[in-house]
Amino acid sequence: MKHAPGPVGLYDPANEHDSCGVAFVVDMYGRRSRDIVDKAIMALVNLEHRGAAGAEPNTGDGAGIMIQVPDRFLRETAGFELPAEGAYATGIAFLPQGSEDARLACEGVEKIVESEGLRLLGWREVPVDDSSIGALARDAMPTFRQLFIALGDGAPADEDGMELERRAFVVRKRVQYELGEKGAGQDGPGRETVYFPSLSGKTFVYKGMLTTPQLREFYLDLQDDRLESALGLVHSRFSTNTFPSWPLAHPFRRVAHNGEINTVTGNENWMRAREALIDTSAFGPDAAEKIFPACTPGASDTARFDEVLELLHLGGRSLPHAVLMMIPEAWERHETMKPEHKAFYRYHASLMEPWDGPASVCFTDGNVVGAVLDRNGLRPSRIWVTKDGLVVMASEVGVLDVDHADVVQKLRLQPGRMFLVDTKAGRIVDDEEIKDELAAQHPYQQWLDEGLLTLDDLKSRPHEHMPHHRVNLRQLVFGYTNEELNLLVAPMAKSGAEA
């Protein structure tokens, strides 16, 4: 993959954001079919106007689709025997362009898999047709191979598949940090020597530096009628203030997103500060050395959001729980909110600050699929539900031609509220039910009463007068600017309220 520029002129990669088109199509009852894949691709094509292209109309900013792992299709095309469905993890690897470099990268991946006590099942060549893509996309195009891994012989039963998910996560992180620092991969995101869009036993991602109509033409798998899924999450990327690349196309491992995370730099800094406090056995011994930093430095806002969400989910929380930690309601002055809901949010506010948009975030773990609008509410989305259990959510109406006679519900995504489809339960889960269940899992109010210390609880101390030059010196040491002092600190000191 090719190098993107560093900070130059008015451009700074730290300010990368995107504003895009996003949609998902799901069979509420979890019935896998080719029809769902076709409908998801059609929704993506109809979001072409929400994406962008560069100087070449056939080099896109990015397009992609996330589906459930297509087990039947892979059994017939892998070329080797696979374990039972859900007992193996798989994903496409973006490898260096050169054949020798790609071979060495595969060897590096295999060594990491072996060192983590996992079984390498094999590699599959991913058939692609690059005739429709532009020269810039082709010039940056990686080599594609699909990896298959499984838990080692004698591993304990993994009924929910989460142990395999965690082990695959560690492999992927090690590949990113150990192999991504060699050769063409050095110097940051979008230029990795090896990159996995996904590596999972539950979900599978096809994506790239493509326009929306090119995705199906490029990945020949997507043209195969044997490829089936009960859900499809699609994304058309418009990369504002950013340079397109194959890895930075959406979907990521859990989310696709329309909008911006404008607090992402502060969120990343806080995550970095918290890493020393994280203590878990979920990811095996020496996890801190393998999976941190949690946020890839310099990655896009969505990529960093996805990395933290995935960490919270694999650490033991349900996906809706992790999402509400990161994108809470505006709860502090909500006078009619249930006290137990407010206790849930207040407790988690001491663990995680909000990732504020404006942002409409779609998420899935392969079983549940949902969406949430941040508390600013500035990225509306529409939802249609049909009488046969088809659910379509998109950043606008009209991504699919649905007979109005079949539509039983028309909804919109609301600020601070979650829309969730559980394909295992075969139903739409109400926002209130989600939050009632999460709030009842632990005695959050009791924990707050026993462990939360407010400023009013602290004993007053005599004020120590400090000469101006000493105050000024400390302000400089801690990075205060004249703008912050005049516009933020001074008004807060005068009014006692947030500026």
The active-site residue out of 20, 106, 295, 362 is: 20
Q: Annotated catalytic, 20?
A: yes
Burial of 158: CB neighbours in 10 Å, binned 0-12, 13-18, 19+ = middle
- Closest C-alpha to 4, from 304, 245, 195, 180: 245
E strand or H helix that includes residue 386: strand 382-386
Burial of 385: CB neighbours in 10 Å, binned 0-12, 13-18, 19+ = buried
Q: How far apart are alpha carbons 367 and 349 in whole angstroms?
A: 27
- The sheet carrying 368-373 orders its strands as 255-259, 359-364, 368-373, 418-422, 427-429
Structure tokens at 486: 């005049």
**Omega of the bond prior to 251 within 30 degrees of 0, cis?**
yes
E strand or H helix that includes residue 110: helix 99-115
CA distances from 247 to 55, 167, 262, 303, 488 (A): 20, 21, 21, 9, 38
Cβ atoms of 141 and 60 within 8 Å: the answer is: no
Cβ atoms of 366 and 26 within 8 Å: the answer is: no
- Closest C-alpha to 32, from 208, 198, 147, 204: 204
Cβ atoms of 128 and 220 within 8 Å: the answer is: yes
E strand or H helix that includes residue 302: helix 301-314
Look up tokens 């009628």; give the residue: 225
Task: List active site positions.
Answer: 20
